[in-house]
Structure 1
Amino acid sequence: MAGKVSGLLEFFMVVGRLKRTVRAGWVQRHVAQPESVSDHMYRMAVMTLALGDNDGINRDRCLKLALVHDMAESLVGDITPACGISKEEKHRKEKDAMNHITSLLPGDIGTEVIDLWMEYEQQTSKEAAYVKDIDRFEMILQAYEYEREQSRPGELQDFFDSTKGKFKHQTIQEWVQELEKMRNKDPTDDKT
């Protein structure tokens, strides 16, 4: 029993590193006080609650996928295209990290976590595809917030450009359309 508990505590500490792992894309763009990977994953998880019963999507599964999709970054960091690491090498590093992380968990839980991570990575379910849309949407929502909060209008356009035409689900497409309206609104329109 003590070995299981110590493994769990180590798991909790490893994933706790996500609270201190900043999102590299924001650092590369010189965003002040960038969010952590944990911040990003938390809001994604909350967003899954807003899905409702769309297209027969299992919200509980989406929540789990959101919570594990970036878990490997607790060990390998946030690897972006600007890091110069191939997609294959990134996947290998993250898979090795996930194998270590899940080895700290009891067998059935560890198996579930690695299976969820692989499902997201390989996009093998409609829930994984939905969560991928949420991942992209959360990123552009955060970009919009940084532009507004840090008086950087339009400076993070490349994040929006990177998602153009990639949203598959109507609900998320509606969120994107509304965000674009908000972003394109003249700030003087709010003044009466």
Structure 2
Amino acid sequence: MDQNMMKLFDFMQLLQNMKENKRWRSTPAVLIKESIADHSWKAIVMAYVVWKQLELKMDFFKVIKLVLVHDLVEAIAEDTDYRLVYLWLVSKEDKHKKEMEAIEEIRSMLPSEIWQEIYELWSEYEEWSSKESTFAKLIEKIESIDHVLYYWEKYIDIPDKVAWYCKNALQKCPELRWFYAGYANKLKELYLKHNYEWKEAYEVDWEYEEFKDFDKFYDFFHLAQKLKETERYGSSPLIEKKDKVAEHCFRLAFMVFVSAKWFNQNVDIPRAIYISLFHDINEAITWDYDYILIHTWVVTPEDKHAEEFKAMESIRTMLPKKIWDDIYSLWAEYEAWKTPEAEFVKALDKYESISHLLFHTFENFDDADLIATYCDKAFIKAPELNSLYRQLKKQLKIEYGKWWKEWKEEYDLV
């Protein structure tokens, strides 16, 4: 059992690499390099919202899982910047070979049934072998365009590359043609404003009732983009290796996916994953409330919740009612912390935060008592995860020894 828990622990620490590894590394025009986790989280959010608006006849949860795992190999292989492929500096074959080696390395970390599902999802995405995978592929590419538009002209290096980036995926997923047309129009505005040639071949027809209010969706996705910039642990100067809220939400969602299967828990896995994706959406407006502020009574839990609720009310106007109601119910369920899914996610949410600190060793620690006990209350409500939590405590204890801090007896009461 301990050996199995160590495998799960190691896999979850591997997911941390998706926060560390950056995209656009070979594109000098991209000044702010987002992480793989940043990109994946926002792509999932876009997939969720767009599918809910269109209600297409396809397996919705499979779409979410496909986007969740599509860049997992980059935890080991790192991102191959599309600019290198576009300029023929790296071949698609070499890129795929490197990724296949990475996926094989991941195989040894997981039980066969969990590995098999992840591998099949990843392969389906790579091969574009289903309508779900073509939807996921196009959404992932549109997220990259959305990222470019967020920063405007700073990110345009090769105009043809940007304007054509979604072309092949668009041909395979015509269901999203009208949604992408909104982005093509935004690109056109940008190109004309900054004297780039806008070719007639770049045009995409725009006439679809479902996205007549495209600008509202566009504004919501740009609000979500702020979670790539929103830093956690902002009031903890001793924690130098901070992460972003989007990265945290992505890694948490992946942890929920794997843990629910690993422990064979009787929870609604799709709902638990959706809760993890949106549980911090308010922080696009409020920014992150570092827990140290509550721990030291600088901010009360009541004041924090009031500000978060106010932020959610501001977001309400950005989406159609049916989508907003759905997202709000996920957020409110997490806040209430009463359902099995919310309890499961809350425990792993706390776990994700401490394991992030641990990834960077004791040099990224600050308050010894707080770090050692931060998850305790949440795991009381999710005792099925205690064997995983004990593994985290075991690794923390080792780091405390290097930190020359006492590991108190009560820290082990799990």
TM range (shorter): 0.7 to 0.9
In 1, the alpha carbon distance for the partners of 2:8 and 2:155 equals 44
CA offset at residue 159 of structure 1? 1.8
Q: Relative to structure 1, is the Cα distance of residues 173 and 2 closer, same or farther in structure 2, using a 3 angstrom cutoff?
A: same
Gaps of 5+ in 1: 188-192
Superimposed CA distance per residue, residues 101-151 of structure 1 (whole angstroms, 9 cap, x where no aligned partner): 13211221111111111111111111111111111111111111121xxx5
Match of 1:176 in 2: 180
Match of 1:190 in 2: none
In 2, the alpha carbon distance for the partners of 1:136 and 1:153 equals 15
In 2, the alpha carbon distance for the partners of 1:49 and 1:154 equals 27
Q: Which of 141, 154, 162 is the matching residue for 1:152?
A: 154
Match of 2:288 in 1: none
RMSD: 2.3
DSSP 3-state at the match of 2:167: coil
CA offset at residue 88 of structure 1? 1.8
Match of 2:12 in 1: 12
1:113 to 2:118 alignment: yes
Q: Relative to structure 1, is the Cα distance of residues 124 and 154 closer, same or farther in structure 2, using a 3 angstrom cutoff?
A: closer
In 1, the alpha carbon distance for the partners of 2:128 and 2:99 equals 16
| Bigger mean CA offset, 37-46 vs 48-57 | 48-57
In 2, the alpha carbon distance for the partners of 1:116 and 1:75 equals 18
Gaps of 5+ in 2: 194-414
> Highest CA radius of gyration, 1 or 2?
2
In 2, the alpha carbon distance for the partners of 1:67 and 1:88 equals 23
CA offset at residue 181 of structure 1? 2.7
1:28 to 2:49 alignment: no
8 Å Cα contact 2:23-2:33 kept in structure 1? yes
Superimposed CA distance per residue, residues 54-104 of structure 1 (whole angstroms, 9 cap, x where no aligned partner): 441111001111011111011111113516332222112111111211321
8 Å Cα contact 1:44-1:134 kept in structure 2? yes
Output aligned runs, 1:55-94, within 5 Å: 55-81=56-82, 82=84, 84-94=89-99
8 Å Cα contact 1:23-1:78 kept in structure 2? yes
8 Å Cα contact 1:102-1:113 kept in structure 2? no
Match of 1:38 in 2: 37
Q: Relative to structure 1, is the Cα distance of residues 14 and 134 closer, same or farther in structure 2, using a 3 angstrom cutoff?
A: same
Task: Give the TM-score normalised by structure 2.
Answer: 0.41
Match of 1:98 in 2: 103
Letter in 2 for 1:80: D
Give the % identical residues.
27
Higher relative contact order (CA 8 A, sep 6+): 1
8 Å Cα contact 2:163-2:187 kept in structure 1? no
In 1, the alpha carbon distance for the partners of 2:163 and 2:151 equals 13
8 Å Cα contact 2:29-2:154 kept in structure 1? no
8 Å Cα contact 1:137-1:172 kept in structure 2? no
8 Å Cα contact 2:156-2:162 kept in structure 1? no
CA offset at residue 46 of structure 1? 1.1
